[in-house]
Amino acid sequence: MKFFIDTASLDQIKEAKDLGILDGVTTNPSLMAKEGISGEANILNHYKQICDIVDGDVSAEVISTDFEGIVEEGKRLAEIAPNIVVKVPMIKDGIKAIRWFTDHDIKTNCTLVFSPGQAILAAKAGATYLSPFIGRVDDINWDGVTLIAEIAEIYAIQGYETEILAASIRSSKHIVESAKAGADVITSPLGPILGLLKHPLTDIGLEKFLADYRKANG
């Protein structure tokens, strides 16, 4: 399973990369705004800076919601670097645009996915990645991880090549459960990724090993 970081923070992207486990980055307009990035030139420049740090795929989201606008914006984004993936919302014109990008060898990430039916449409259009938002599904008292499992089952039966990218991750447990449910990729903020390191028995065990070493070695 690939690990993407879900942030526009250059510091956090560098920290995850230094850990040696980073396969890519996802962003969205909210995450860009959180970093104070606004205006098309600044946004394009920020994506360039992210692509300079990371070798793997970097999802850059379009703002347009009509077919022509999505295609024009996506082409500009795809020109930034070869590892840019155009992130397109799950709407009618978005699906049309994903088909256009697929036919023109531009990678896509279909975002804001909340149902298996949407997942089938995105795969039919040839999306490179599909982003089911599991945390937001949990927020409305449904089960986000079950959604991943349902999509994984359908994709396996149908032989779809679109990669399932579990998004809207809120906890380390979400990462583990997504891996069990068949996600090809998770995208997570840094916190839940670092949370995977933690276990109290690891801390207690390490403390004892070091104490015993000090006792034996003075």
> Which residue lies nearer to ligand E4P by CB, 27 or 204?
27
> Which residue lies nearer to ligand E4P by CB, 139 or 212?
139
Beta bridge partners of 57: 24
Distances (CA, A) of 93 to 88, 125, 132, 202: 9, 11, 18, 50
The two tokens of residue 192 are: 């839940």
- We find the least distance from the C-beta atom of residue 131 to ligand E4P, in angstroms, to be 5
Q: Extract the runs of DSSP E, i.e. beta strands, from 65-128.
A: 84-89, 108-113
The two tokens of residue 100 are: 């256009």
The two tokens of residue 205 are: 């065990």
> Which residue lies nearer to ligand E4P by CB, 95 or 165?
165
C-beta separation of 35 from 46 below 8 A: yes
- We find the least distance from the C-beta atom of residue 104 to ligand E4P, in angstroms, to be 22
Helix (H, G, I), strand (E, B) or coil at 213: helix
CA 135 to chain CA mean position, Å:
13
- We find the least distance from the C-beta atom of residue 189 to ligand E4P, in angstroms, to be 7
Pick the catalytic residue from 14, 17, 34, 87: 87
Distances (CA, A) of 60 to 18, 120, 216: 22, 22, 55
- We find the least distance from the C-beta atom of residue 34 to ligand E4P, in angstroms, to be 10
> Which residue lies nearer to ligand E4P by CB, 83 or 202?
83
Tell me which residues touch ligand E4P (CB under 6 A): 6, 26, 28, 111, 131, 133, 135-136, 167-168, 187
Annotation marks residue 124 as catalytic: no
Residues classed as catalytic: 87
